[in-house]
Structure formats: structure tokens, C-alpha cells
Amino acid sequence: MQKPKGTRDLGPESMEVRKKVEEVMRDRCEGWGFREVDTPTFEHLELFTLKSGEEIIDEIYAFRDKSERELALRPEVTASVMRFYSDELRARPKPLKLYYFSNCFRYEQPQKGRYREFWQFGTETIGGDCSKTSAETIALACEILDSFGLEYDLHIGYLGVARGVLESEGVVGEDQDRLMSLIDKGDVDAIIDFLDGLSVSSDCRGVLVELIDLVGEGRDTVSQALDVLESYGFGEEGGFGLDNLSETLSYLESYGDVDYTLDLGIARGLEYYTGTVFEIYVPGLGAQNQVCGGGEYSIPQLMGENQFSTGFAFGFDRVVEAIKHQEIDLDIGPRLMAYIIPVSDEFRDEAVQILGRMRGSFPADIDLTGRGIGDQISHADSIGVRFAVIIGEREVENGTLSLKDMESGDQVELGIDEAVNKIMEEYESL
Ligand code: AMP
């Protein structure tokens, strides 16, 4: 039987790589003061339509359970974490730094890097000063990718400007959200058509089209954006918070050398984003090259008024794909350090005792077939064992073990302690 469209079976080799990637991500998050949370795989459908509207139903797995409750498999985790925050975590000291690693489900057309079941690894920081929190969030996302030695492009945007210009022209609510989603798609014609329909001023139209096209390296681009705003007569509003963006960038620079492109055309798909946003792309991954997206957002219905949070979500599968594409060696090492080979069933008792001792210190396994020694050694080789440990009459009599190094092919007979220690040293050096 075939698996459902857009899902994957993950074999042992894939899982070894994924576990290593997960371990590095967890380690970095914990090292930066984040603590893990988990939320249900399915939620009330309303949680996702709350801010993203009814249209989202076409893009997600929505269903009724046997009691006619309207539910949905989570398409992302932010809304769930905010629900959790609202239900139980509100009283915790802020900023509250949380992270998650969860499978997500979207009813999309599957293609390379786009699945119907995929995993997100993400953080949410609730509370804190927006600029400082945004800088910390972006710096952590970069640190995680740097720990793998990945090459990537970081793009930072600021939604406050477009939202501010629209607000000053009375474009609010759903119209504003609709425009932000058109900006996100980069569809300039559709943006102009929509603005014309709203009969905004020609300056509003001009400034938006020019701003979303503004892309440049470093902080100078913020000054250029301010000039654009001024030239259309929108300069007096403090650049609609562009000074916050400058502040975020200067905090970000104190984390070290971070290369970024400022791109005011980034709007992010979901409507709850409010201020600084960012996306990270890995060149060479094809159409689905965005490995991370994040920014500052607010969901007043769940978080309360004037409560902001900043987070990111890595497309975990795409990070794994990027590591493979850039041929990065994760140094996973052999899975099994020792494979015990009793020469015959006569020595099985001694063999299992040695196995028990080894299993206390490193991964070890034993033959379960009773086949001949030659076949057992080829099996050990085929499953990538580091040492084959042979136990026969001579070894039992001498209190020794014969250790076959499966990399070099060399075989030595060592005292039991010595043999166990040798394997353990090798294991610890991995
Ligand atoms: P989003 O919640 O849409 O901002 O997505 C966050 C990240 O999840 C994106 O940057 C992608 O890397 C990843 N992602 C989103 N949708 C999919 C999908 N269908 N399959 C695999 N990864 C995805």
C-alpha cells in the first residue's frame, strides 16, 4: 500500500541525520535560555481561522470528529503556543523564551522541499523590548545555521512601514491584511489594482511600490527608505517605526558579523506579523529555498492587547536538505561500536555477558542467527559496525577477546578489560 501523498517514510540513515540536526538545534536553543514546549497535533479549527481567515481552510487538514467538533491538524505552531500561553503561561515572568520541534500539516501541492507533513523547529519569545528581542531571535537563527557551517542569505524586512502608510490612508483591517499578503507574493500589478480599488492617494501608491522594491545591503538601506518616505510626504511619522528597525540592526551587529540584505518587500504570509520580519534562504535548493521565516507579531485575541512576541520557524526538512546539498559532514560516526560474534552456540553465555557489559558503555549488538563466523563478519561489515568482537574457545580459555577493527581490517587478541576500554576510548573520541 502506498503512503499518503506528500508524506514520507524516514529510514534509519535519514533519522540519524535528522536526530543530529535536532540535537544541535535543541542544544543551541537551551544554551540561549529557551525551554521546550509541546502542544497538541490537532486544535480547534477556529484557532487557525482566528487571524488567517476562512481562506486558510482550503490549505489545511480541517475535519469534524465523531462529535461534530471542527478540528484541524496544526499547519504551524505559533498559534498553538500562543493559545497555550493564553490558557496557562500568562503569569510566567517575561520575557518568556520557548522553543518547539513539531510536525505540521498543510494541504499543498507536494514538490521538492514542500510536503503535506513536515517539521518545524521554532522559538517564541513573549515580551521583552521589540528591538532587542528581534535582534536576539535573528542572531539565534543565524547561530544555528552557522553551527552546521551552512551558507545562507538572511533577508530582513519591516512590516511597520507598509502598515503605517496604509493606516495613514485609512486602509485597515482585512483590506490591509489582503494587501500585506499581495506584497508577500511580490505581485506589483495586483497591489496597484487593489490600491486603485481602495482609491488611496497617488503618493500612497507611489511610496508603497517604491518601498517594496527597495532591497540593499546593511543599514544604509534604512536611510534610503526614510528618503523615499520623505519624498512622498510620509516622512513626519518617524518613518513609521523605521527607527526601531535601525535599532534592531545595531543590536544585531553586536552579536558579531551578520551579513544581511534589507528587503522591505518581505511581508510574510500570515497576517499576525507587525514589525521586523526576516526570512533565510539557502541558495541551490530550488523553488523551496526558504529554510526559515520569522518576525515580531501580535495576536491580541490570545495574547491580550499590546503584547508582542518574536519568533522564527525553521523548515526542519529544508535545513536537512540544505546540509545534504552543501555536502556538510555531520560527523555522525558508526552507530554500533561492537558486534559480538560467538564462534558457536557453546560460547553464547560468555558472549551475552560481555555484550551486557559493553551495552552499559556504548552501543553493541550480537549475532541472533547462529550462522558461521565468516557470514557474521560480513554482516557486521554490511551494517557499518566499528569493531567485530570474536569469542571462541581460545578467547574463553585465555580470558580474552579478539577484536577486529572493521575499518583497517586488523585483528588483535586483548584481555577483556583492555578490549572494552579500547572500544570505549574510540567511542568517547567520536
Ligand atoms: P511558515 O510558517 O509558512 O513561515 O513556514 C516556516 C518554514 O517552514 C518555511 O520557511 C519553510 O522552511 C517551512 N515550510 C513551510 N511549508 C512547508 C512545507 N509544505 N513543506 C516543508 N517545509 C515547509
| Ligand 1 pocket: which of 103, 104, 291, 323 to mutate (most atoms within 8 A of CB) | 104
Instruction: Identify the pLDDT of residue 269.
Output: 63
**Ligand 1 contact via 168 beta carbon (within 6 Å):** no
Atom 3, ligand 1: which residue's CA is nearest? 269
**Ligand 1 contact via 235 beta carbon (within 6 Å):** no
Atom 20, ligand 1: which residue's CA is nearest? 114
Instruction: Identify the pLDDT of residue 9.
Output: 98
CATH superfamily of 12-325: Bira Bifunctional Protein; Domain 2 (3.30.930.10)
CA of 202 to the centre of ligand 1 (A): 36
Are 122 and 313 within 8 A, CB to CB? yes
Atom 15, ligand 1: which residue's CA is nearest? 315
Atom of ligand 1 nearest to the CA of 122: 6
Residuewise pLDDT in 10s, the chain (430 residues): 999 999 999 999 999 999 999 999 999 999 999 999 999 999 999 999 987 778 889 999 999 999 999 999 999 999 999 999 999 999 999 999 999 999 999 999 999 999 999 999 999 999 999 999 999 999 999 999 999 999 999 999 998 888 888 888 888 888 888 888 888 888 888 888 888 888 888 888 889 888 888 899 888 898 899 889 888 888 776 678 888 899 999 999 999 989 999 998 887 766 677 889 999 999 999 889 999 999 998 888 888 888 899 999 999 999 999 999 999 999 887 789 999 999 999 999 999 999 999 999 999 999 999 999 999 999 999 999 999 999 999 999 999 999 999 999 999 999 999 999 999 999 998 8
- The domain ranges of the chain are 12-325, 338-428
**Ligand 1 contact via 72 beta carbon (within 6 Å):** no
**Ligand 1 contact via 296 beta carbon (within 6 Å):** no
Instruction: Identify the pLDDT of residue 238.
Output: 65
Q: What are residue 277's DSSP bridge partners?
A: 157, 295
Atom of ligand 1 nearest to the CA of 280: 10
**Ligand 1 contact via 290 beta carbon (within 6 Å):** yes
Q: What angle do CA 129, 131, 136 make, to 5 degrees?
A: 95
**Ligand 1 contact via 74 beta carbon (within 6 Å):** no
**Ligand 1 contact via 106 beta carbon (within 6 Å):** yes
CATH 3.40.50.800 fits 338-428, yes or no: yes
**Ligand 1 contact via 377 beta carbon (within 6 Å):** no
**Ligand 1 contact via 315 beta carbon (within 6 Å):** yes
| Ligand 1 pocket: which of 76, 100, 109, 273 to mutate (most atoms within 8 A of CB) | 76
**Ligand 1 contact via 293 beta carbon (within 6 Å):** yes
**Ligand 1 contact via 120 beta carbon (within 6 Å):** yes
**Ligand 1 contact via 118 beta carbon (within 6 Å):** yes
**Ligand 1 contact via 59 beta carbon (within 6 Å):** no
| Ligand 1 pocket: which of 21, 102, 290, 316 to mutate (most atoms within 8 A of CB) | 290
CA of 292 to the centre of ligand 1 (A): 7
Instruction: Identify the pLDDT of residue 187.
Output: 82
Instruction: Identify the pLDDT of residue 237.
Output: 63
CA of 25 to the centre of ligand 1 (A): 17
The C-alpha cell at 425 is 576510548
Do 12-325 and 338-428 share a fold?
Answer: no
Q: Which of 115, 120, 159, 113 is nearest to 141 (CA)?
A: 120
Sign of torsion over alpha carbons 397, 399, 405, 410 = negative
CA of 114 to the centre of ligand 1 (A): 8
Atom 12, ligand 1: which residue's CA is nearest? 315
CA of 354 to the centre of ligand 1 (A): 47
**Ligand 1 contact via 51 beta carbon (within 6 Å):** no
CA of 276 to the centre of ligand 1 (A): 19
